[in-house]
Structures are given as C-alpha cells and as structure tokens.
Amino acid sequence: MIRLERWAATLCLPLLGLLQAWALADGQGRAHGGVQILALAGFFLFLDGARSLRQAAWRGWWFATWWLSGVCWWLFISMHVYGGLPAPLAVAGVVALAAALALYYGVAASLYWWTRGLGFMASALLFAACWTLAELARGQWLTGFPWGAIGYAHVDSPLAWLARWAGVYGVGAIAAALAALLALCVVAVLGYIFGRFISAARLPVTAPRMVSAYAWLAVLLVAILAGGHWQRAQFGEVDAQLAARKPVTLALLQGNIPIAEKFDPGTGVLDSLRWYGEQFTQRKEALVIAPETAIPVLPQDLPPRYLEIVTAPYRSGDQALLTGLPLGDTERGYTNSVLGVRPAGAGATDSSPVDYVYSKSHLVPFGEFVPPLFQWFNDMMDIPLDSFRRGAVVQPSFAWQGERFAPNICYEDLFGEELARRFSDPQQAPTVLVNFSNIGWFGDGAVIDQHLHISRMRTLELERPMVRATNTGATAIIDHRGRVVAKAPRASVAVLSGAVVGNGHDGSASSITPYAHWASRLGLLPLWALALLTVASCAVVGTRLPRMYHSR
C-alpha cells in the first residue's frame, strides 16, 4: 500500500498542479476558485500522508513545478518564437524557472510536515501559513515573480471581498486553509471507516474528531459568506455617490502590431507611427490612452515634428493623451515610460506638448534588465529593450478632469504592495489606475486572461477602477469592484470607447481600503509576521502536546 501511494503521488501531483494552473485562467476568460481549492486539497492529501521530511519536500516541489510550468508556459513563446532560442532550450528554460521557483514550496511543504502534529484546524492554519510564506518569498525575493499566486483564482469567488482587507496573499492564505480543511474532512471519514488502510499520520480517527473536521470547515465557510454579505452591504452609499458623478470618456487604443515586426524600422515602426498617429489626431474622447511602447522609438529618432503634429489636439481644448514610449539617451540611460500631454493650465507645468512623464519602476528580468550572472542566457536570444533604468516607486499621478490617473506599466500591476504605496497620502492617492501593456511577446492565450485577473485583483485590493490599454489584449475597463465593464476583442486592431469614474476624490481616509492603509506603510511585513508567528506557535505548542503521529 505504501508503494502504491508513492506511485499515486508521483502520477497525480502533476495532474493536480496543472489543474490548479487551469483554475487561474481556463482559456475562456474565467477563473475558478473552487477548482483551485480542490486541486490544492488533493496536494495536501499527499503532503499530509508523506512518511518522511524528504518525501514531503519532494512532493511540494514536484507539485509546484508542474503548477508553475502550467501557469507560465507562455514564456516558451517569447524565448522560442521571438527570442530565437531553439525549442528544446526554450522548454528547458520554462521548466527550469518553474523548478527553481518551486523550491520555495518544497521548503514550505517540509516545514509544514516537520511542524505538524496538532488538531485539524491548527493543521489547516499551519498549512496556510507555510504556503503563504512560500508565496511571499516567490513574490518578493530576487526581484520577485509572483505571477500565478493562487489568490488570483478567486477574483469571482466568495473570497474576493477579503482582498480589500488582506490583499491577494491573504485571499490565497484563506483558500489554502479551506483546501487543507477539506482534505482533512476526507481523511477523517476514510480514516474512521477504513482504519489502518489510511496513512498513520491521522490515526486513530474517532467519531468526535471526524465531526470536528466538518464543524471547523462549516464555521470557516459561514464566516466567509457572512463577511461577504456584510461587506457588500457597506458598498451601497459609495456606489451611489460614484453613479452620480460625471465620468471621463476614454479611447483605449489597441494597435495589434505584430511583435515580430514591432521594432523593425521598415515595417512595425512605420505601422505603429501611422496607426497611432491617425488615432491621436482623430479621436474626440476626453482622454486617449495608447499602450506600452505604442511609439516604439525614442523621441529623438522620430520623423521631424512627428510628436508635435500628433499631440497638437491635446495642447488646447478639452482632451488629454497618455501613451507609452521609451525615453532617454546613452548618457542618462533609457526608461520604459508613459508620456502625458494635456492643455496648458490643466495640470501642465508649461505650454510644451510633453508635460507629464511616468517611468516604469519594477522592471522585467531578461526583458528590461539582465540579472547578475545571466548575461550569457540573454545573449542567446534576440529580444531588444533589455537595459532600462528604473523609475521611482511612487510618482505623481496624471491630473485630468477631476481625476488622478496613476500609470503602471506591464507587470507592475502584479505588485499590489508597490501600487499601495501611492495611497499613503489620501489627498494625493490615485482615483483611477491605468495599465499600459504589451504582452504580445507571449501570444494571445492564457497569459492575457491571467493578466486581466491580476488587474482585477488590484481593483479589489485598492477599490480604484483600472483601465487597460494593450497592444494585443486585454484592453479593458474595470470598475472599482473588479468587474469588467468593457473589453476589446483580443489580437485585433481595435479602439475601445467607454468611460470611467474614479474613487476617492475627496481624499478622505475612509476612501482608502484597509489593505491600502497598512500595505502603503508596512508593505507585506504584517503578512510575513503573521505567517511566521503561526508557524512558530504551532512548533512550540506541538512540542508540548501529545503527538497525534505514530512516527515522524
């Protein structure tokens, strides 16, 4: 039976990992929080049944490697199709990254297995704490790569309301606790019925213990549902006030310029300048927004007077423009930036056409900077724009028509704790978030849906709408409750016309969510402290109580 269980773990954990990856984005634009919990519950069953510390660590690593490979498989497209890396090496690169990131979860799994020994609810909390530590480490250490955190599967689930209090990692922690409790309910029933055929880790299972597992699960579910109902009841007054406010009309431009040609002076550059230039001069909306590197060359390399001509409609009147482009020179370095143009007197510092600049702060490894010791890997690929300079984490918003538009570029919206730093002063806090992206490097599949869910989670955490202008998708308008109001067809040339109403215009402290309040001052330190305290408490208490295990 032990040998059979080992084979089952080896074969089933990859399937469970891929199922959890699918739950984050199913290819049809949906996330499935319930499926994510089921997949993680399956993993927990194998982890809790491990018979050694080494086996627990291996199972955590094995599950996470498949899960993260399934989440980030689209990196293959950027490395092979656009980077020119041979397919076997590109596959190896994706798997190597996933395997490296999975080490966090291998350590977390071994920490759980070594510390466990308490009752069902304590075991669930311990597992949630260990899982959260792995998520936090992956999201912050070595520049951080938190793409695919399990909390993103819950943008539409009953757990979504918790984001305004605890952020995506807090949502993930509760999901992990639910998964563990669900698994322990299965263990309790099977252990009670079949006795010795179940892992010795949870034996003996008495009727009271079996009932306690279901009682704890029921208590947690009722608390989540009741809390969500209470929270939604609090939203009515704010929503009514925003509904009465005049919106800002928008034109979100999606050029769908082929990535293989985007930086080619003879094709993609000319197509970009022509199409976006036409849109800039023809649109009538109050705010026109173009995506990351919509203008794909430096201002000094543009045709004579190009920038002056296409921005002419925004130097006077009642229109403003935000567009992505690179800035800088060889002496100062280069930045991936957003350029803003608005009429003089409307927040502009002078009458020049360029009166606002935002520069990307959190850069993409291998795409915008080369990590130490990895220049050899970058040299194997043929992808431009790999040596940008960082902007400040907190930069001024773009003031226009009573709103404070706060840009973020590409995967900067993946770091909610960094966006939250802009909310330390309620008087200057953004009222609208704006994401400028070009993820055409990664195809038009699940990566687009995953990134959309990431943006939606930021709106749930910060209760600010987010508008997204992208090259290939998802160009969208998301309201302050995380709902997609409008979306352009992906992988197509499109202009998404709509409107947005911001939140927090009065600059009151009550307009700042609890998450934004503590994360703007402390970052993710409270979550680190709470998770570490939970693990330490379980370790100390576990040494003083009779063990529930027959062996380690």
Query: Residue 239: which of 432, 481, 466 has the closest Cα?
Result: 481
Q: Is 410 a catalytic residue?
A: yes
DSSP of 44-73, one letter per residue? HHHHHT-SSHHHHHHHHHHHHHHHHHHHST
Q: Is 360 a catalytic residue?
A: yes
Query: Residue 6: which of 40, 52, 37 has the closest Cα?
Result: 52
Yes or no: say if 66 and 19 are a contact pair by the CB < 8 Å rule: no
Residue 299 DSSP one-character state: G
Q: Is 292 a catalytic residue?
A: yes
Q: Give me the amino acid identity at 26.
A: D
Quote the tokens at residue 150: 């399990």
Query: Residue 118: which of 541, 409, 454 has the closest Cα?
Result: 541
Torsion of CA 253, 259, 263, 269, to 10 degrees: -40
Rounded CA-CA distance 35/445 in Å is 20
Quote the tokens at residue 243: 């509904």
Rounded CA-CA distance 173/10 in Å is 25
- CA 503 from chain center: how many Å? 21
The active-site residue out of 72, 185, 360, 368 is 360
Rounded CA-CA distance 113/53 in Å is 7
The active-site residue out of 130, 410, 487, 538 is 410
Containing 109, the helix (H) or strand (E) segment is helix 87-115
Q: Is the dihedral of CA 129, 130, 136, 139 positive or negative?
A: negative
Rounded CA-CA distance 328/535 in Å is 48
- Residues contacting residue 418 through CB under 8 Å, at least 6 positions apart: 361, 362, 393, 412
The active-site residue out of 130, 135, 292, 487 is 292
Rounded CA-CA distance 280/292 in Å is 15
Q: Furthest-apart CA pair in the chain: how many Å? A: 82
Catalogue the active-site residues. 292, 360, 410
